[in-house]
Amino acid sequence: MRIPVVMAKAILGTAFIVFGANGFLHFLPLPPPASASATQFLGLLESTGYLKVVKALEIVGGGLILGGRLAPLGLLILGPILVNIALYDVFMDPRGLPLVIVLGALALVIGYRHKEHFAPFARVHREHCTFKGK
């Protein structure tokens, strides 16, 4: 199980570093958005500077995954970004959906390897609940 996880970390980390860096350096040509609403949406994200923050987080998250020891933290950073990319692809531009499915599968492989780090998020801690119920 170790080799597939190492490969998944290498692919996912590299992908997010490359695509994140492309947001700043523009070395990969991107296809134009498929619809007018997608163009408007991406234009708005770019004009506000929001996309620069997301691209910086992609680089940080990808680096943490490539580094190995802090891969769970990298997944914690990249998880919401990956979900937003998937939602954009589903609702506005489905051409990128195959790539996001592959990246999501790689993230799940890495997440399963580090499941002990994510287990506390799935547990119910009754002593910390404000609603005690009956």
What's the CA gap between 62 and 86, in Å, rounded?
Answer: 17
Q: What is the pLDDT of residue 127?
A: 67
pTM: 0.87
Whether residue 130 is predicted with pLDDT greater than 90 in this model: the reply is no
Average pLDDT over every residue of 95-121: 93
Which two structure tokens, joined as six digits, stand for 53?
A: 């923050």
> pLDDT tier at 95 (50, 70, 90 boundaries)?
very high
Average pLDDT over every residue of 7-17: 97
22 and 62 Cβ atoms separated by less than 8 Å? no
Average pLDDT over every residue of 61-90: 95
Q: What is the pLDDT of residue 85?
A: 96
68 and 9 Cβ atoms separated by less than 8 Å? yes
